[in-house]
Structure formats: structure tokens, C-alpha cells
Amino acid sequence: MSQASINQICIIGVGLIGGSLARALRQAGFCQEIIGGGRSSDNLKQAVALGVVDRFQTDLAKAVADADMVVLAVPVGAIKPVLSAIKDKMKPNVILTDVGSTKASVIADVKAILGHVPSGFVPGHPIAGTEKSGVAAAIADLYKDRRVILTPLSETDRNSTDLVRAMWECTGAEVSEMSAEHHDEVLAATSHLPHLLAFSLVDTLAQMDEQTEIFKFAAGGFRDFTRIASSDPVMWHDICLANHDAIMKILDRFTTDLDELKSALNNSDSSKILEIFKRARAARDRYTQSEQ
């Protein structure tokens, strides 16, 4: 199957991520038709009205029936039921991919429901998003100059991987490949832990008696740091459970380092506090410079 032969793509889950992908693919002319699949007819009707998808189906089995490529753009906790609904209705040579923030759990779900890893299965993860959700928030350039990670398996056909890569590259994304295990470790540290900390900090402050005054006088730094606490709680609940082991590993490391800073502060260890702050700033500066 060549890119030119992709007539129909079915995106199950037409929210920010799935909707933005649909907008980008339409803009790039990657396929002839985009079908939206999901449970909410109101959301899908809005997707059609906004020109995000061509038509929709709430019956997922019907949604995927003629699709050359199926994109699972649902929370990782919803992967299993979606696969159960479509497993016997997809075309034999369909390309199946996803956008989940964890990869080992998605692969395990595919094996559990389908009984094997299809040659057309290409696990994927676009590292992009905003704190907004829903199809109304979808934008065509969400993935421009952002990274997408693919974690193909030994069973995955190379042509299928190349087609999924081509799909993401036409959105303006930079595509990389790595193992599912490595992906989950990296994302636990760079994405999952920051979200967990942001949710936790806001929850702690919200339970304090003087919370109204705390939030009233919060500076820009607080707003920047906690912005991601406005993300979809269900989605992040699913991610934390799905990537439990990798998150616990980095959370233990962070807790140890936080205890070191707490001890330095408790002991008024000026040199230690300054050492940690300077080391962190230098690392952050190297990171931002590498992005330019």
C-alpha cells in the first residue's frame, strides 16, 4: 500500500489530538476521506460542522469497515474496549496506529484483544497538545515542528511504519523511532512526572484555608508551572496507571532529590541550595538552547 492508495482514514476519538490530526491531514491532502468515530454524536456532529472530518459513525465497527488506516486517538484506558469493538471489522491489510502517551500498555492491549501483533500495527505517540480539549480546540498546526515517536515491533511491516511516518511528517512533525520500553521511561520523566507534580501542587494549595488569597496573588511562574494541571484528568489518570512502573521509578528518584533539597533548606546549607539551583539552571539553559 502506497501513500497514494490511502483513500480513507478513520480516526477514533475526534478531540484535540485526533481532531488536530484530521485538520492537518486534510490540509496536506494526505487521503481522500476522513471518518470520525466515537461515542458522542454531538461531538462528532460538531466535527463535521467544523470541517474536521467528512462524516462520522458512533458504531465503531461500521466506522472502520472501509478504512485503509485506523488511528486510535482515545485515552489509553479506552484502547481495550475500542479494540474489542473493531477487531473483527477492520480490513485484513489495515494499518493500525495510536496516539497514546504510553506504549507498552497499548501493545499489551493489542495482544490481549487481537491475540497477536498485526503486521500493520505501528504504535505511535505525538508529543504535542495543550491544556484544552475537545474538537473545537483542534488546530491544523498542532504538530508542526513537534516530535512524534513510533515504536514499531519486530512483527510490524516496514511499509506500514513508513506510511505512518509519512502521515505524521505531512503534519510538519519530526518523527523518531525507539523501543516501547525506552519511550515509556523517557516520557515518564519528561511528561508524566511534570503532570503528576502540577496536579498535586494545585490540589495541595486548593485545600489550604487561605486558598482564595493564595490563588489571587499567584504570580506568572505559578501560572506557567501549573498550566498543565488544566489537562484532562481522565486521560492523565489512565496514563499514570498504564505507565505505573516507569513513573514510580522516576518519582522515587525525584523524591530522593527533593528530600536532599529539603534537608539542605532545613540545615540552612547555603552552598548546597545554591549548587542545586545553579546545576538546574545550567541544565535548563542547555535544553532551551538545543531547541533553537
What is the per-residue pLDDT for 5? 60
The answer to whether residues 69 and 90 touch, using CB atoms and an 8 Å cutoff, is no
The answer to whether residues 185 and 244 touch, using CB atoms and an 8 Å cutoff, is no
What is the per-residue pLDDT for 234? 87
Domain with CATH 3.40.50.720 in the chain: 3-178
Domain with CATH 1.10.3660.10 in the chain: 183-291
Q: Which fold has domain 3-178?
A: Rossmann fold (3.40.50)
Rounded Cα–Cα distance for residues 120 and 115 (Å): 14
Strand, coil or helix: 15: coil
Strands (E), the chain: 8-12, 33-37, 55-57, 69-72, 95-98, 121-122, 124-127, 147-150, 174-177
What is the per-residue pLDDT for 14? 96
Which residues lie closer than 8 Å to 139 by C-beta, 6 or more apart? 20, 23
Rounded to the nearest 10°, the torsion over CA 84, 90, 96, 102 is: -10
What is the per-residue pLDDT for 292? 64
- pTM: predicted TM-score of the whole model, two decimal places: 0.88
What is the per-residue pLDDT for 288? 84
Q: Which residues of 183-222 are buried (b: 16+ CB within 10 A; e: fewer)?
A: bbbbbbbebbbebbbbbeebeeeeeeeeeeeeeeeeeeee
The answer regarding whether domain 183-291 maps to CATH 2.30.30.60 reads no
The answer to whether residues 201 and 262 touch, using CB atoms and an 8 Å cutoff, is no
Rounded Cα–Cα distance for residues 137 and 135 (Å): 5
What is the per-residue pLDDT for 181? 97
Per-residue pLDDT of the chain (292 residues), as tens digits, is 555 468 999 999 999 999 999 999 999 999 999 999 999 899 999 999 999 999 999 999 999 999 999 999 999 999 999 999 999 999 999 999 999 999 999 999 999 999 999 999 999 999 987 777 889 999 999 999 999 999 999 999 999 999 999 999 999 999 999 999 999 999 999 999 999 999 999 999 888 866 677 788 777 888 888 888 988 898 899 999 999 999 999 999 999 999 999 999 999 999 999 999 999 999 999 988 876 6
